[in-house]
Amino acid sequence: MFNSHTFRRTLAIFRSLPFTVAIAANTTSSTPSAASGDAKSLRVLYADDMKELRDLLTIVLSRDGHRVETVPDGSVAWERLRSDPHCCDLLITDHHMPKMNGLELVQQVRTSPFAGKVMVFSSELSPTVHAAYRDLAVDQVMLKPVFPHTLRGALRELFASRPA
């Protein structure tokens, strides 16, 4: 099972690899390695209360050419999406977060003009909560730990119809 110590070690390995990441306050923007006109480059908003996971996902996705913005909880993600519903192609949210959890976030998002895809990460979900996500037409629910190759496969599948 992954724990904070394992994540910190994994993060240290990823940080030793060449890439560019700029961190400001509670959000992270990354410079994609792919050309800005690359249709496969996604704009991702990732909400998770664990900074190590936000950093790790930023490293993994930015190395694949995606632009990643991270926020520490669902309420900040909701404010971002409410102010600009076209800010991202994909919302990834953790389920267990303070202030506003993933389910509450998705419920709010589904009342907005956000047209992107929604992915939920969680270490555990009850059948009732899983059904609630399904009822909200969440595109993908993934159990933690989510490994880079598994995430890449899910993204390929979710965005298969997107032009190359």
The closest of 27, 49, 44, 57 to 101, measured between CA atoms, is 49
- Indicate the domain borders of the chain: 4-158
pLDDT reading at 9 higher than 50 = yes
Confidence check: pLDDT of 39 > 70: no
Beta bridge partners of 67: 43
Give the pTM.
0.77
CB-based contact 89:42 (threshold 8 Å) = yes
The pLDDT tens digits of the residues spanning 75-127 come to 999 999 999 999 999 999 999 999 999 999 999 999 999 999 999 999 999 99
Superfamily of the domain at 4-158: Response regulator (3.40.50.2300)
pLDDT of residue 71 exceeding 80, the answer is: yes
